[in-house]
Amino acid sequence: MLPRSGSRITLSRILLVGLAITLLFLINRSCTEQPTTLERVQNKGQLVVLTRNSPTTYYEGPDGPTGFEYDLAKLFAEHLGVNLKIVTANTFGEVIPRTAHGDVHLAAAGLTVTEERAKRVRFGPVYQEITQQLVYRAGKDPPRRIEDVIGGTLEVMAGSSHVERLKALKLELPALAWKENTELESEELLSLVWEKKLDYTIADSNEVALNQRFYPELRVAFDLTEPQQLGWAIPKSKDDTLYNAAVDFFNIINANGKLKQIIERHYGHVSEFDYVGTRKFMQHFNERLPRFKAMFMQAGVQSGIDWRLLAAIGYQESHWDPRAASPTGVRGIMMLTRTTAAQLGITNRLDPDISIRGGATYISHIIDQIPGRIPEPDRTWLALAAYNIGFGHLEDARKIAQQRASDPDKWIDLKENLPLLRQKKWHNKTRYGYARGNEAVVYVENIRSYFDLMIWMTDPRPPRPDSTINELAPDIPTILPPVL
């Protein structure tokens, strides 16, 4: 039996009303649904990152912003297709609270992952490991255990994981005492130990490695912790989108080697601290460089190369001795060969001005030969290797790198392949044959360290209000001269 006409109309109305309600619900939901954190970042085109102004995180270098954490954060922003906005914390102690409050999208500040911090923020993937180290100055009896610091002045950054560690130690050692500094960064506390204004401080191993070159008498007494992990801090939320994006990012840069390259860029040349060599460099900086400084600066203007890099090359070559000579016939401050000097039209290699300008012209020429696709700083490190070993041998090493599935455009990979030029099974296959590629690696790494020292020693940073160079203990040589 067919339904009556009125029933069909009623059913249609019910269906239409139901459809309308469903559409209104979906429209209302789409209007009220909030964008995710990742969507907000991408819609605004900006990733806001909180960090610290320090050598291991973020600072202004000769060529603009740099630092390990800065380079990582910038790469993450590029991965998301947005711009990076850096916000620096006034004190270390405000990093976690500001992040937990949601003032920034994340904190990339060399943060140790601890249980206490994990209660307030969410940590992203681990990208580096450090240990906490007790640091003192050479010239006093080294502490062998934590009990030995009792009675001395121990100062650490307020809000740091070092405080957490000390509080744990104090449970077993009630007499242990320290001061928590709310104003100074780890580098500044290390300098106070070097100046004998503090007996001890605690710093992460990566910070110690970087700063020992600048404060050569600093010593590590012992590790206070087992290896600890560093990670980015992200505000806690039910919204996982930014966190998941960070996980994906670190998976990618671990797989493609980018993370390894950034670590090498900032720490690869500081793994072996040379106290005697660093002290000698500082002495020569004061005694020898002033005579040649204007020459290096003028050569820098003419070549477009930072004069401090040219000076670092000159120091590696001759220790700024204009009459330096080697048994192989290279001579002068920049130790030019006869062949190179002839190519440059140089007749007197012992004239320091001529030698410096010749060396600057030569290194500039080599840099121009490096393929344009290779970015800085790898471009310069490769050029320096060629300056030492010859461009032909550099190309041989780059071909070996390709054969071994390494990246011939990256210094981190090339410095693993240059030493193979000494091995017959490799150099027999090359155009230019045997070469002491291991020496080229040492050459470049030394120059990188000298360049860092040159930047640090010529940086006109304002003195701390509580410390000036004139207040240094009388037995400490002045290594921070007026800006040349």
**Nearest to residue 169, comparing CAs of 120, 136, 130, 202?**
202
Strand pairing class (132-137; 200-204): antiparallel
> Any catalytic annotation for residue 317?
yes
Q: How far apart are CA 378 and CA 176, in angstroms?
A: 47
Paired tokens of 198: 């503090």
Whether 161 contacts 132, CB under 8 Å: yes
DSSP strands (E only) in 131-184: 132-137, 154-157, 179-181
Paired tokens of 137: 């100055």
What pairs with residue 331 in β-bridges?
Answer: 325, 336
Cis peptide before 377 (omega within 30 of 0): yes
Q: How far apart are CA 296 and CA 465, in angstroms?
A: 33
Q: What is the radius of gyration, based on Cα positions, of the chain?
A: 29
Q: How far apart are CA 328 and CA 120, in angstroms?
A: 63
Whether 318 contacts 389, CB under 8 Å: no
Residue from 183, 317, 439, 445 carrying the catalytic annotation? 317
Paired tokens of 355: 């030698």
Whether 83 contacts 43, CB under 8 Å: no
Render the burial of 270-306: b for 16+ CB within 10 Å, e for the rest.
beeeeeeebeebbeebeebbeebbebbbebbeebebb
In the chain, what is the straight-line distance between the N-terminal and C-terminal CA atoms, in Å?
107
Q: How far apart are CA 157 and CA 161, in angstroms?
A: 9
Q: How far apart are CA 258 and CA 75, in angstroms?
A: 9
Render the burial of 348-379: b for 16+ CB within 10 Å, e for the rest.
ebebbbbbbbbbbbbbbbbbeebeeebeeebb
Cα 118 off chain centre by: 25
**Nearest to residue 445, comparing CAs of 269, 274, 311?**
269
**Nearest to residue 387, comparing CAs of 267, 323, 303, 280?**
303
DSSP 183-241: S--HHHHHHHHHTTS-SEEEEEHHHHHHHTTTSTTEEEEEESSS-EEEEEEEE--S--H
Please give the positions annotated as active site.
317
